[in-house]
Amino acid sequence: MVSTPYGAVRGRYESGVAVFRGIPYAAPPYGPRRFRPPEPPEPWDGARDAGAFGPTPPKPPYSEAFAQYLSDPVVPGDDCLNLNVWTPEPGPGARLPVMVWVHGGALTRGSSGVPVYDGRSFARDGVVLVSVNYRLGVEGYGYFPDAPANAGLRDQLAALKWVHDSIDAFGGDPDRITLCGQSAGAISIGALLAAPQAQGLVRRAVLQSGPPEAAERDKVRRMVRRMATRLKIPATAAAFAEVDRELLLRTQAEVGRLSSPVVGGPAFGIVVDGDLVPRDPMAALTEGGAAAGVDLMTGWTRDEYRLWLVPGGLLERLDRLGAVALAGAMARCHAGAEVPRGYRALHPEAGTAEIVGQMVTDHLLRVPLHRLADARPGSTYVYEFAWPSSLPDLGACHALELGFVFDTGDVPESRKLAGEGAPQELADEMHGAWLRFVADGDPGWQAWDDSHPVRVFGDGDTHTAHGPRDAELALWAAAVTPPESTPASAPADGSPTRSTELRSVVRRLRLPGAVRRH
C-alpha cells in the first residue's frame, strides 16, 4: 500500500515486482469537464484497489486489416485519466530512475493497457515505469472556439506533474524522470519538452519514430467542421459535449477515413495555442533553447512505412500506379522532381511503393529528427531499428521495436507484429540501451556530432554506422518546395485545394475500407 496526494492505493506483487494499475491522476473528463482542461481527482478514503487497469479513453476500434497486427484493449468507464506504476522497491527514499511512457496511436487510438507496454522488465532491472492514459481524438485534440486546445496534451502534463509530486512514494527519483514515447507519443513528448509549464519536470527524453511538430490549426479545424456537418450541430465544444460518445466515435472514424501518413488528409494533432504550446515545438527546441539541459535519444525503424502500406494491400496498389504514385508522394512531401529521381538513383532495385514509402518516412521522420539532433550535438543519441518481422512484407516496420524495448516478446500481442522467432539477444541489447539511457543518460554509443553516428539494431551485429541516411536526406535540402497556400477559391469548409497529382492518387488508390478507417 502506497500513499498518493489523493489517497492510498493497494497494488499487487507480480513476479517480485510491485504493480499499481488504474491510479487516477485527474478527475473523469465528462459532464461539465468534457472538452475542458484536466482537474484534480476527488480524494478518497481508505485504500483504493489498484489491481486492474483503469478505464481507457473513448476511441474507435482498429479496422480488421490493422487489428491483425496491433492490439488495443478497451476498458469501459468514465475515470479514464489514470496511470500505472511498476516498481521494484515501493516506498520513499529508494531514488530509482523513472521512465514515463506515452503511448502512440495517431492521437486517436491506443492506451497504457496494451500488453506490449508491460513495465515488468524495466522494474525488474531497477527502473520505476509509469504508463499513462490521456484523451484521444476529438475529445483530446479537437480545435474549438469555445474551449482550450490540446486537452490530451494537458492530460499528459497533469500526469507528469503527478509523477513528479508522487513518485518518491513508489521508490522513484523525481529528479531523474525520462519521458519516453513512440509515434504520436513521441510527438507529444516533443511538445511537452518545449512547453514552459513542463520545464524542470524532465531530465531525459526518448522520441521513437515521432518528431517535435505542430499540426496546422486549419487541418484540425476541418476535422471538427466535417464532423459537425455530419452531426448537424455547431462546430463548438458545447455542442459536441451534448453528443452521445458512440455516435461521436463513429462520426470521427467516418470523417477521418481518408487520412493516412502517406496521402495526408485532415487529422487531429497538437496545435500552437499560445498557452501550453506557445510556438512550434521544433522551433522552440532547435532555435529557442527550450529543454536545453535535457538529454535526448531518438530514432526510427528502417521500414516505418510498411505498417502504413501493407494492411489492406496498399503496397501493391502503389507499385501498380507507378509514376502517379510518385507524383502523389511529391505533392504530399512538397518535394520537387529531383527528390524521387535521387531516390531512384540511390536505390535502382527498389519498386515504386518502396521509393514512395521511404520518401514519406524521410519527410515525416528522418529529416526533422536529423534537424533536432544537429541542433543538440553532444547530448543526443540516434538509433535505427532494422530487424525485419517474420510476417510477410512488414520488414522493420513502424512500432515493431516496441516489444524489444520493453522486452515483452513473449506476449502474444508482440508476436502479432513480429511473428515467431524474435531474437531475445536483440531484445537484451535494445532494452539494455534504454535502461542505460534512463539511468544515466548514456545508452552506450557515440553521441551525435558532425559524423552522424547512428546505432543500428537488428542488421547483423549491433553496430554504429556514420551517416547511413545522409545521401537520401541531402536530397531534401535543396529540392523541397514550399507548401501550397490556400487560394481565395478554397472550399467552404476551409480546406486548402490539393494539387491535381495528390487528388489523382487518392482517387486511383481506391483505398479499401479497412485502410481508410485506420
Residues 518, 515: Cα–Cα separation, whole Å: 5
Three-class SS of residue 3? strand
Residue type, 373: A
Q: Is 384 a catalytic residue?
A: no
Q: Read out DSSP for 273-322?
A: -SSSS-S-HHHHHHTS-TTTT-EEEEEEETTTTHHHHTGGGHHHHHHHHT
Q: Do residues 180 and 100 lie in contact, with contact meaning Cβ atoms separated by under 8 Å?
A: yes
The contacts of residue 4 (CB under 8 Å, 6+ apart) are 23, 162, 166, 169
Q: Are 207 and 186 in contact (CB under 8 A)?
A: yes
CA–CA dist 343, 356 (Å, integer): 9
DSSP strand pairing (17-24 vs 12-14): antiparallel
Q: 456: which strand partners?
A: 384, 463
Spatial neighbors of 59 by CB under 8 A, at least 6 apart, are 72, 74, 105, 108, 109, 110, 111, 136, 137, 249
Beta bridge mates, 131: 84, 101
The yes-or-no answer on residue 413 being catalytic is no
Of 363, 370, 398, 431, which one is the catalytic site residue? Answer: 398
Catalytic member of 63, 131, 260, 304? 304
| List 71, 131, 183, 414, catalytic entry | 183
Inter-residue contact 7 to 43 (CB < 8 Å):
yes
Q: Sign (positive/negative) of CA torsion 309, 310, 313, 319?
A: positive
Residue 406 · residue 322 · CB < 8 Å:
no
* Contact indicator for 351, 319 with CB cutoff of 8 Å: yes
Terminal-to-terminal C-alpha distance of the chain: 41
CB of 481 within 8 A of CB of 335? Answer: yes
C-alpha cell at 302: 528502417
Examine the residue annotation and report whether 304 is marked as an active-site residue of this protein.
yes
The dihedral built from the CA positions of residue 25, 23, 89 and 205, taken in this order, carries a sign that is negative
How far from 56 is each of 117, 151, 159, CA to CA, in Å? 15, 16, 15
Rg of the chain (C-alpha set): 22
DSSP for 436-469 reads: HHHHHS--SSPPP-TT-EEEEESSSS-EEEESTT
Q: Which residue has the cell 503511448?
A: 103
d(CA 409, CA 420): 9
Which positions are annotated as active-site residues? 183, 304, 398
